[in-house]
């Protein structure tokens, strides 16, 4: 045994870029320990507060990493398997914010559903740790590990609502399909390794630069498999079939996290592997992304129209948003990557806020998610309805919301890459999608409220979360420059030094 270890070349480990990973994972483990040791003396809100603090701590530790990536340029550490670049830091920050906001939303929900306990928050933070690993992985195995950590925690979170059969069903469904997707991904990694002789993105990129592998069947099959895996995670058509059922069945705060966090991590990994790793053979995968984008836009927007459940509507709309983000991916340019980052940030705010509203409105049992439950919300809870309207208009891409600039940036990237028709189709899909957001607005403002509707209780946590995301949406809708330049500075590049 000892001799084996002697042969293993332990890489030099630089801790600074790993601190966000360690803090997030450590916070989860420590929370579990604290609660199991001293659980009975802690106040009910302790796990939620702890999670919020952990998220904020990750935010703080991301700053030195960002500065370092800014000073030294993008580079890799730990034997080239962890990338230190603006791109990964942007996604880490996004995930940390998602965790903070989801924890705020969850607090009242768990209390209402009598599901209090640390498990929810531990899984949430572990899942985010996986997301952080995905966002910064420069090695396909590290990336796969991150994806599995992220997914396994989410499978459990989806099935978390013990007294709801739909929740269990959604958990099983997501798990079975997700396992398939992971298998595809792993097989794809193996094939890519076969074709390029490397699991490291820098190695893969180098192999593709020095050899012409553009018609290598192994590589193409491997890329296709990887796309299946990532397509599943980001809910792109035709790998979207699970989305409406799982979104509908899963506890509403979990859906907040899935729509914002899991999607962001999925797109981060997709961009890392395809834009940075397979950038040399972009001509091979761009048409596939083109097709996925169109399919997602069309199916997402059109199918949402016939739904009557708000969670299903938002699920299909998240598919449509995935299509929009794929438009930015398809550009395969630095501007395209920046537009994807901006879109992910804007969408995270809208998605968390929207599902937070659904969480509040759905009432005990998390059952009241039909469109009818929103009828007359404007007269029952004017501020909640106004906030939800801002988020919906942002999803529709109406000016002076962050969602407008997200679409603006993505379309700019597409037009700059001369993908005019994709841009046109995306905008047409946005109009179709606007109809479904209007349906929700109509229900809230123009329909008479149900006289028997119970009085809505809005706990402080969700109220705070909704306020934050609405202010975010409006502030960056009016003056998007800071976020735009941040996304623009978040370089995704492997070619500089590898430590």
Partner 1 sequence: MDGSMVLPVIIFLPLVGAAAIALIAPSRSTVLKPVAVATSAATGALTLWLMAAFDKNDGDFQFTQLTEWIGSAGISWHVGVDGISLFLVVLTGVLFPLAIVACDPPHDAKAYYIWLLVLETGCLGVFLSLDLVLFFLFFEVVLIPMYFLIGSWGHENRKYAATKFFLFTMLGSALMLVGMLTLALLAKDYSDTGEITFNLIELANSAGELPTITARWIFLSFALAFAVKVPIFPVHTWLPDAHTEAPTAGSVILAGVMLKLGTYGLVRFGLYLFPEASRYFAPLLFTLGVIGILYGAVVATMQRDLKRLVAYSSVAHLGFIVLGIFSINTEGIEGGLLQMVNHGLSTGALFLLVGFIYERRHTRQISEMIGLQKAAPVLAAVFTVVMLSSVGLPGLNGFVGEFLILAGAFVAHRWWAVVAAAGVILAALYLLWAYQRVFHGTPDDANRSMPDLNWQEKLVMLPLVGLIVFLGVYPKPVIERMEPAVNALIEHMEDIEGFESPTVDDRPEGSFEDLRTLTDDYGSDEGEGH
The answer to whether the Cα torsion of 153, 157, 163, 164 is positive or negative is: negative
Among 358, 338, 368, CA closest to 492? 338
Distances in Å between the Cα of 414 and the Cα atoms of 92, 333, 424 are 26, 9, 10
Beta bridge partners of 137: 82
Q: Does 412 bind partner 1 (CB under 8 A)?
A: yes
- The terminus-to-terminus CA distance of the chain in angstroms comes to 29
Segment lying near partner 1 (by CB under 8 A), choices 58-66, 121-129, 198-206, 400-408: 400-408
What minimum distance in Å lies between the beta carbon of 271 and partner 1? Answer: 20
What minimum distance in Å lies between the beta carbon of 449 and partner 1? Answer: 14
Report the residue number, 38 or 424, with the smaller CB distance to partner 1.
424
What minimum distance in Å lies between the beta carbon of 393 and partner 1? Answer: 7
Q: Which of 174, 266, 480, 491 binds partner 1 (CB under 8 A)?
A: 480
What minimum distance in Å lies between the beta carbon of 235 and partner 1? Answer: 23
- The C-alpha atoms of residue 76 and residue 84 are separated, in whole angstroms, by 6
What minimum distance in Å lies between the beta carbon of 396 and partner 1? Answer: 8
Segment lying near partner 1 (by CB under 8 A), choices 93-101, 149-157, 165-173, 415-423: 415-423
Segment lying near partner 1 (by CB under 8 A), choices 151-159, 211-219, 351-359, 404-412: 404-412
Q: Which of 114, 162, 420, 497 binds partner 1 (CB under 8 A)?
A: 420
What minimum distance in Å lies between the beta carbon of 439 and partner 1? Answer: 8
What minimum distance in Å lies between the beta carbon of 399 and partner 1? Answer: 4
What minimum distance in Å lies between the beta carbon of 476 and partner 1? Answer: 11
- Please list every residue from 436 through 475 that binds partner 1, using CB under 8 A: 438, 442, 445-446
CB 31 within 8 A of CB 122: yes
Report the residue number, 241 or 424, with the smaller CB distance to partner 1.
424
**# chain residues binding partner 1, by CB under 8 A:** 31
CB 297 within 8 A of CB 429: yes
For the stretch 449-458, contacts whose Cβ atoms lie closer than 8 Å and that sit 24 or more positions apart, written own/partner, are 449/375, 449/376, 449/377, 449/379, 449/380, 450/372, 450/375, 450/376, 453/373, 453/376, 453/380, 454/363, 455/380, 456/360, 456/361, 456/363, 456/380, 456/381, 456/384, 457/360, 458/360, 458/381, 458/384
Report the residue number, 344 or 429, with the smaller CB distance to partner 1.
429
- DSSP, collapsed to helix, strand or coil, labels residue 137 as strand
Site string for partner 1, 186-225 (x = CB under 8 A): ----------------------------------------
Structure tokens at 425: 């189709």
Q: Does 484 bind partner 1 (CB under 8 A)?
A: yes
Binding site for partner 1 (CB under 8 A): 393, 398-400, 404, 407-409, 411-412, 415-416, 420, 423-424, 427-428, 430-431, 434-435, 438, 442, 445-446, 479-481, 484-485, 488
């Amino acid at each position: 045994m000892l001799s084996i270890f002697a042969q293993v070349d332990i890489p030099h480990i630089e801790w600074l870029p790993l601190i966000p990973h360690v803090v997030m994972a450590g916070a989860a483990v420590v929370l579990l320990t604290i609660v199991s040791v001293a659980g009975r003396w802690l106040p009910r809100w302790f796990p939620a507060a702890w999670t919020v603090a952990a998220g904020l701590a990750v935010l703080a530790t991301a700053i030195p990493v960002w500065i370092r990536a800014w000073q030294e340029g993008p580079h890799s550490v730990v034997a080239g398997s962890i990338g230190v670049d603006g791109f990964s830091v942007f996604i880490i920050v996004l995930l940390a914010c998602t965790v903070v906001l989801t924890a705020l939303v969850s607090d009242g929900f768990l209390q209402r559903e009598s599901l209090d306990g640390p498990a929810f928050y531990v899984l949430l933070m572990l899942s985010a740790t996986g997301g952080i690993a995905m966002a910064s992985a420069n090695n396909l195995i590290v990336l796969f590990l991150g994806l599995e950590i992220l997914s396994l925690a989410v499978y459990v979170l989806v099935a978390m609502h013990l007294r709801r059969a739909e929740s269990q069903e959604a958990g099983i469904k997501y798990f079975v399909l997700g396992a398939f997707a992971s298998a595809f991904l792993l097989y794809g990694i193996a094939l890519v390794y076969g074709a390029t002789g490397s699991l490291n993105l820098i190695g893969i990129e180098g192999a593709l630069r020095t050899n012409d592998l553009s018609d290598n069947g192994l590589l193409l099959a491997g890329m296709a498999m990887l796309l299946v895996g990532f397509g599943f995670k980001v809910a792109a058509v035709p790998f979207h079939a699970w989305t409406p059922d799982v979104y509908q069945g899963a506890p509403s705060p979990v859906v907040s996290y899935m729509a914002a966090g899991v999607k962001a991590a999925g797109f981060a990994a997709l961009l890392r592997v395809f834009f940075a790793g397979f950038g040399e053979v972009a001509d091979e995968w761009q048409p596939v992304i083109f097709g996925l984008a169109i399919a997602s836009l069309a199916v997402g927007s059109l199918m949402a129209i016939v739904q009557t459940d708000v969670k299903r509507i938002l699920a299909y709309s998240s598919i449509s948003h995935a299509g929009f983000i794929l438009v930015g991916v398809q550009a395969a340019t630095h501007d395209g990557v920046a537009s994807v980052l901006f879109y992910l940030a804007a969408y995270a705010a809208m998605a968390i806020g929207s599902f937070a509203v659904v969480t509040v409105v759905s009432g005990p049992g998390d059952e009241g998610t039909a469109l009818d439950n929103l009828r007359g919300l404007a007269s029952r809870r004017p501020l909640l309805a106004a906030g939800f309207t801002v988020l919906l208009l942002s999803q529709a891409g109406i000016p002076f919301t962050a969602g407008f600039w997200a679409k603006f940036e993505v379309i700019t990237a597409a037009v700059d890459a001369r993908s005019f028709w994709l841009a046109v189709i995306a905008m047409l899909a946005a109009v179709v999608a606007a109809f479904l957001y209007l349906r929700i607005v109509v229900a809230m403002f123009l329909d008479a409220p149900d006289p028997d509707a119970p009085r809505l209780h809005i706990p402080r946590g969700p109220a705070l979360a909704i306020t934050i995301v609405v202010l975010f949406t409006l502030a960056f809708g009016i003056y998007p420059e800071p976020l735009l330049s941040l996304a623009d500075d978040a370089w995704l590049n492997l070619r500089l030094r590898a430590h």
